Amino acid sequence: MGTWAKAWHLIAMVTWFAGIFYLPRLFVYHAMTEDRTSIERFKVMERKLYYGITTPGMVVTMGFGFWMLYDYAWAAWGSMMWLQVKLVLLAILLVYHFYCGKLLNDFKHDRNTRSHVWYRWFNEVPTVLLVAIVILAVRKTF
């Protein structure tokens, strides 16, 4: 079952990252928007993306990831420093994900205080995490 778990883990991860890349981009446009119709449209798009795609992708990614961790990595945990670093980066990504949920709630209640420029920089964080996580998982260098 290991290869199936890995395949579903990767499919879910792609789904999760698609959402985690696009949601802050929506925040950029939302922060720039001033007309009520567009603001309400962004609220709907952000909510559907976060709860309908991004969060389910995260849950499935985590589920299969922990299954694989339990199934064949747990016994060698101490000798797999790359995996420990990967899990720390994953924890940072989870904080980022839930912080996006907080920002979504701020926009929902018209309480956003950040500029579109801030969201442009914020949008780069998951890219750095993705590159590091994938390199660690593929190379297993330490």
Find the mean pLDDT for residues 84-107: 97
Q: State pLDDT tens for residues 45-86.
A: 999 999 999 999 999 999 999 999 888 777 676 788 998 999
Q: State pLDDT tens for residues 3-23.
A: 999 999 999 999 999 999 999
Number of domains the chain is built from? 1
Q: How far apart are CA 94 and CA 15, in angstroms?
A: 15
Q: Which pTM value belongs to this model?
A: 0.94
Q: Which domain holds residue 93?
A: 2-139
Query: Rounded to whole angstroms, what are the CA distances from 119 to 7, 34, 66, 122, 123?
Result: 32, 16, 31, 5, 6
